[in-house]
């Protein structure tokens, strides 16, 4: 039963996305018809931003729940503002479009949702102003982005990009080459994940998720000034910790603290809550998922599936239920 809770069963994120309905140019259409020119500005220069949103299927309730939809679209609009992208939709309209897409695709499984806003003009001028903007949303069935247990990590020699170089608090498409370089290098060297340092030499976050450690039974994560993405799952974990009376700190983390931590885990929409049990070939704690990580995992995986009434406000149900007369 525990294993079932800890898995988002479904296809790998490496699976090619070939069909389904999406939002493109203001209407629902087949994904295969949602195409852009190779001269599109965002394709050439990375001038776009995106979100990653999960929806979890609860078979016993016959319901699909979108997790933290409003919060994701609020961050999406902030990313658009940083890139001078004019989004024609409000948060509420973006949530409504997402429900329509998922309903049209008739999903009965776990789903990953990708809103995307980008500079759509076919020009070669490197700029943000005076270009045509486009907003799209597509979705794909997806299981775990990384395994949720026993990850091995390495401190990357790729530095986390500074907010003065690329806006780290925005999910900018071009900025993710930083994450790709670190993640690919880690995988090539036999690790599951990369932990990146900021320009000051202190810990920033993992390649594409936030990082938590446990020291002396205190939950610790890096501040938003450490060139991290302002993670929605990160904020959710801090909320839950406060409600459960789990002591926590938001502060800088030194590299060597990673080697003496009792527990460690990734936190993100894709990663969910995934335990790290070794860093740079050094065992974290006893080499197993720690008790605090396990406690948060169990609650999180129940809550995202609509199994915890206290966290019902995290969720947007997709399918309407007929009222009983």
State CA 291 to chain mean position distance.
24
Distance CA 75, CA 54 (A): 15
- Residue of 5, 100, 125, 171 marked active site: 171
Distance CA 281, CA 306 (A): 38
Q: What is the DSSP string of 49-76?
A: EE--EEEEEETTTTEEEEESHHHHHHHH
CB atoms within 10 A of CB 245: 6
Q: Give burial (CB, 10 Å; 0-12/13-18/19+) of 11.
A: middle
DSSP 109: S
- Going by C-alpha positions, the residue among 295, 315, 240, 304 that lies closest to residue 272 is 304
Strand residues in the chain grouped as ranges (E): 21-24, 27-30, 48-50, 53-58, 63-67, 111-119, 133-141, 151-155, 193-197, 203-206, 210-215, 218-221, 248-250, 263-268, 272-279, 282-283, 315-317
- Going by C-alpha positions, the residue among 319, 291, 323 that lies closest to residue 306 is 319
* Close Cβ partners of 91 (under 8 Å, ≥ 6 residues apart): 70, 73, 74, 77
Is 171 an annotated catalytic residue?
yes
Distance CA 122, CA 44 (A): 9
DSSP 162: P
CB atoms within 10 A of CB 25: 11
Place of tokens 């959710």: 236
Catalytic residue IDs: 171
């Amino acid at each position: 039963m525990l294993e079932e809770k800890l898995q988002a069963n479904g296809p790998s994120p490496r699976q090619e996305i070939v069909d389904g309905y999406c939002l493109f140019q203001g209407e629902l259409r087949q994904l295969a018809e949602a195409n852009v020119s190779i001269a599109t500005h965002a394709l050439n220069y990375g001038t776009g931003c995106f979100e990653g949103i999960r929806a979890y299927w609860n078979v016993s309730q016959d319901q699909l729940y979108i997790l933290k939809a409003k919060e994701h679209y609020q961050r999406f609009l902030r990313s658009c503002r940083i890139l001078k992208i004019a989004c024609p939709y409000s948060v509420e309209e973006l949530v409504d479009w997402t429900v329509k897409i998922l309903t049209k695709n008739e999903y009965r499984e776990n789903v990953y949702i990708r809103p995307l806003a980008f500079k759509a003009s076919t020009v070669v001028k490197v700029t943000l102003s005076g270009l045509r903007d486009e907003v799209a949303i597509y979705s794909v069935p997806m299981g775990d982005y990384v395994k949720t247990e026993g990850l091995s990590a390495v401190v990357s020699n790729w530095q986390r990009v500074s907010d003065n170089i690329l806006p780290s608090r925005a999910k900018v498409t071009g900025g993710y080459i930083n994450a790709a370089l670190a993640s690919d290098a880690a995988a090539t060297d036999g690790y599951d994940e990369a932990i990146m340092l900021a320009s000051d030499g202190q810990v920033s976050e993992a390649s594409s998720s936030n990082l938590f450690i446990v020291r002396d039974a205190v939950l610790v994560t890096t501040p938003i000034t450490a060139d991290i993405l302002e993670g929605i799952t990160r904020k959710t974990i801090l909320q839950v910790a406060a409600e459960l009376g789990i002591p926590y700190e938001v502060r800088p983390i030194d590299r060597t603290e990673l080697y003496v931590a009792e527990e460690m885990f990734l936190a993100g929409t894709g990663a969910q809550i995934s335990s790290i049990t070794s860093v740079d070939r050094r065992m974290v704690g006893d080499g197993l998922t720690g008790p605090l990580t396990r406690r948060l995992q169990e609650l999180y995986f129940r809550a995202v599936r609509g199994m915890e009434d206290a966290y019902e406000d995290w969720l947007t149900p997709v399918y309407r239920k007929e009222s009983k007369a």
